Amino acid sequence: VTFFESTETGTVWEHLKRSYRHLSRDVGRRGLCLQHHADWNDQLEPSAKTGERESVMVSEQLCAGLLEMAELADRVGDLGVGEECRALHREMAEKINHVAWDGAWYQRTICEDGYALCSGRNEEAKIFVNTQSWAVLGCVAEEERLRQCMESVDRHLTKPEGIPICDPPCTKFDERIGRFTTVMPYHIENGGCYNHAAGFKTVADCILGRAEQAWDTLVKVAPDNPDNPVSQ
């Protein structure tokens, strides 16, 4: 398979190895993955005004990918890659817990000047669902901490209408964050109930054995949820 914008070719396995090695090196001053164009949330794209940012979510996704790569390596007998991936996973998970744990949940994005989006210290956008779900999917901490961050989702992000991306939404422009803060509150990425994010949460619930919470989330996002009917 040809590499992106290159005449060089490699096997799919070589593409995968190059991907995780690149992500592991493409980090900011705190050691987390740099945020480039749209780390799932299109409105959080950094700009010249917002400065360099590190994405907690991409770092957690890298952790999930490293564990899958380690399992694949075991299956094909590439023991060196398996060991490398587990070591990189431990290293990134340690960094996430050191710089992105906010006391009861994981932050979302850390700006160049140290400002953290998704912190209990903030007036708005205190908590995002995706960095809690992906902490579980990426196995970035012991189960007790993972349960703590999902219980924070229960308290702050479980609404009758569904699972909002963040709460409370941003109501005023903040240059440190950028375009995200120009979106109307409760609309799309700025506090909207997003079924894609609810899907991540449901899988995280299942991993932790939170069957009731997983089922409740599925009911909320199903068509014609009694608390959020189609007519609404």
Output the DSSP codes for 98-146.
Answer: HHSB-SSSB-SEEETTS-EES-TTSSS--EESHHHHHHHHTT-S-HHHH
Query: 224: left (phi > 0), else alpha (psi -120 to 50), else beta?
Result: left
42 is catalytic: yes
Amino acid identity at 114:
G
* 188: enclosing H helix or E strand: none
Q: Which of 26, 42, 154, 227 is catalytic?
A: 42
CB 173 within 8 A of CB 183: no
Q: Which of 53, 74, 61, 56 is nearest to 20 (CA)?
A: 61
Catalytic residues: 42
